[in-house]
Amino acid sequence: MLLSIQDLRVDFRMGKEGGVVQRAAAVGRNGQGVSFDIPENSTVALVGESGSGKSVTAMSILNLLPDNAERSGRILWQGRDLLQASMAELRAMRGREIACVFQDPMSSLNPVFTIGNQLVEPLRRHLGLSAKAALEKAESLLAEVGMPEPRRRLKAYPHELSGGQQQRVMIAMALACEPKLLIADEPTTALDVTIQRQVLELIAGLKEKHRMSVLFISHDLGVVGEISDRVVVMRHGTVREQGDVARIFSAPQDSYTKALLACRPSLDGNPARLQVIDEHIAQQDGQAAAAVPQAAPKNADAPVVLEVKSLHKSFWLPQGLFGKREFRAVRNVNFQLRRGHTLGVVGESGSGKTTMGLTLLRLHEPTSGEVIFDGKNLLTLGDRERQAMRRRIQIVFQNPYASLNPRFTIGESLVEPMAIHGIGADTAEREARARRMLERVGLDGRAFGKYPHEFSGGQRQRIAIARCLVLEPEVLVLDEAVSALDVSVQAQVLNLLKDLQDELGLAYVFISHDLAVVRFISDEVMVMQNGEVVEQASAQQILAAPRQDYTRRLLAAVPRGWTPGAA
């Protein structure tokens, strides 16, 4: 057995209260620790919602935890207990025997060092290679993970690469010393479906080539079903169920596992609401099941609130010593958005989805075109008029970690935009409004005085949505707003967005790489490739009978989970 985790428990010291040290259990509760094995040359998936203890369990292996963490139990690495290993011994193992790939490559890569510098470091430290030999090895590693123009990429900085390319760099770095175990913590969560497919196939191929094992952490059972040999399902710090992937998918025993499988949006059918985990478990426990109605058709004659005409956006990039070249990121985009409707925008990374959304709000200045809102072209407004319009058109960004000011409490982040736009008679009224909105997005009043770092990614995204909604916008641009959320939180946020749309008549531009989510929330879908719209039709028509090969490829790349004969 390569790795055996036996009765693992992890507590975090939370300070003293009345002279007694307070501890919060993260892994292992009610006298039950976490136990599972990782055999040689196998892929074991850890699955569960945010806060289930997946990442804490995985990071416990090499003690990549904060100083206030206390571990107990046994973590046997080829028979050796890593809980008894010194920090010097663990440092020698990190990267050489056990390597990690994390969820957000931009947070893991050093922004001031080139890709080459960061790849060379573990090769020189662990393998003792010369600078020249390490650079040659780094280039071959980038080629192995499918990086285009690997020699040129060695001189690039992280911000010059796409998200998928950054993740490939992280995988190359992790494989530099040919480890026996790769810990992949949500490595495909924020990637579009085609890049996600490529990364999954890359990890599977490298696993077979190097005869290594993989501990794959994810909340997406569709992904897990395609890559794993065994599945360990966690909730609230305990293992609810584990077994072969075929058995878990075909005959799950635990109610929580069944709920995880049932609560994800599907490409088939379009219910009015998604079930959340607790609702599904309650039904399995014999409580009355609420009927899930199908989504009602929208009013096709609703007034147009936003009209985009011939929108173009170009960037000028350096070329040669003094020259420059035009990069056309968005080309001739046209659409109408009606009140109470949702336009889904899909496409691969680099297709122009996000640039188009940012240009609508003039967070990128357009090259040409018109964005008509309330009879005015947003692209020609002066600063004062634009400020007033920004209250009515808001955006929720993909990365909740970067969206919130770390020095502001959540209350301050919600109250400040209301004060800027003159909403509410005084501070007390604004604070009351902010607390009500936090409750609407599923957070209690205690969140008001806390800071962003005290919340999970899913909670931060709900806070970002609440910050937009306190301004009572008419149009909301959602840029991958639910891509990093687990299935239950994702269902809560999507249901919330639909409820607010029905209640307030909001119109959404919903940018996403998740076609199942787009199917659930969108009335119309616009498919983008290389800055252009290649197909546009109703959500049902696009997904049932796509006309373009590119759209078909996007649909074919969607993870379908385990199917008989797949494993």
The pLDDT assigned to 295 comes to 59
Per 3-state DSSP, what percentage of the chain is helix, strand, and coil (rounded to 5)? 40, 25, 35
With a cut of 80, say whether residue 436 has pLDDT above it.
Answer: yes
Rounded to the nearest angstrom, the gap between the alpha carbon of residue 181 and the centroid of all alpha carbons in its chain is 24
Q: Which residue from 186, 260, 249 is spatially nearest to 216, judged by alpha carbons?
A: 186
CA angle 191, 156, 216 (to 5 degrees): 35
The pLDDT assigned to 190 comes to 64
The pLDDT assigned to 8 comes to 95
pLDDT (tens digit, 9 = 90+) per residue, 249-276? 889 999 988 888 877 777 776 677 787 8
Strand positions, DSSP E, 457-523? 475-479, 507-511
Q: Give me 429's structure tokens.
A: 């009224």
With a cut of 70, say whether residue 230 has pLDDT above it.
Answer: yes
User: Where in the chain do CATH 3.40.50.300 domains reside?
Assistant: 39-69+85-248, 304-556
Q: Which residues contact 503 (CB under 8 A, 6 or more apart)?
A: none
With a cut of 90, say whether residue 313 has pLDDT above it.
Answer: yes
The values of phi and psi at residue 420, to 5°, are -65, -40
Measured CA to CA, the distance from residue 228 to residue 416 in angstroms comes to 46
Let me know if domain 304-556 sits in CATH 3.40.1160.10: no
DSSP string computed for 314-376: EEEEEETTTEEEEEEEEEEEEEEEETT-EEEEE--TTSSHHHHHHHHTTSS--SEEEEEETTE
With a cut of 90, say whether residue 10 has pLDDT above it.
Answer: yes
The pLDDT assigned to 33 comes to 92
For residues 161 and 428, the model is more confident at: 428
163-174 vs 115-127: helix axis angle to the nearest 10? 10
Least confident of 106-110, 219-223, 431-435: 219-223
Least confident of 45-49, 80-84, 353-357, 438-442: 438-442
The pLDDT assigned to 567 comes to 44
The pLDDT assigned to 290 comes to 52
pLDDT, mean over the chain: 86
19 pLDDT band (50/70/90 cuts)?
Answer: confident
417 pLDDT band (50/70/90 cuts)?
Answer: very high
Q: Which residue from 377, 361, 368, 379 is spatially nearest to 330, judged by alpha carbons?
A: 368
pLDDT (tens digit, 9 = 90+) per residue, 141-196? 998 888 888 998 999 998 888 777 888 888 888 888 889 999 998 887 667 777 77
The pLDDT assigned to 92 comes to 87
With a cut of 50, say whether residue 467 has pLDDT above it.
Answer: yes
Measured CA to CA, the distance from residue 204 to residue 213 in angstroms comes to 10
The pLDDT assigned to 455 comes to 83
Please give the torsion angle defined by the CA atoms of residues 348, 352, 355 and 361, in that order, rounded to the nearest 10 degrees: -110
Tell me which CATH homologous superfamily contains domain 39-69+85-248. P-loop containing nucleotide triphosphate hydrolases (3.40.50.300)
Burial 356-380 (b: 16+ CB within 10 A, else e): bbbbbbbebebbebbbbbeeeebbe
With a cut of 90, say whether residue 465 has pLDDT above it.
Answer: no
457-469 vs 427-440: helix axis angle to the nearest 10? 130
Measured CA to CA, the distance from residue 430 to residue 462 in angstroms comes to 18
pLDDT (tens digit, 9 = 90+) per residue, 348-391? 877 889 899 999 988 899 999 999 998 899 988 888 888 888 88
The pLDDT assigned to 309 comes to 94
Residue 142 contacts residue 168 (beta carbons within 8 Å):
yes
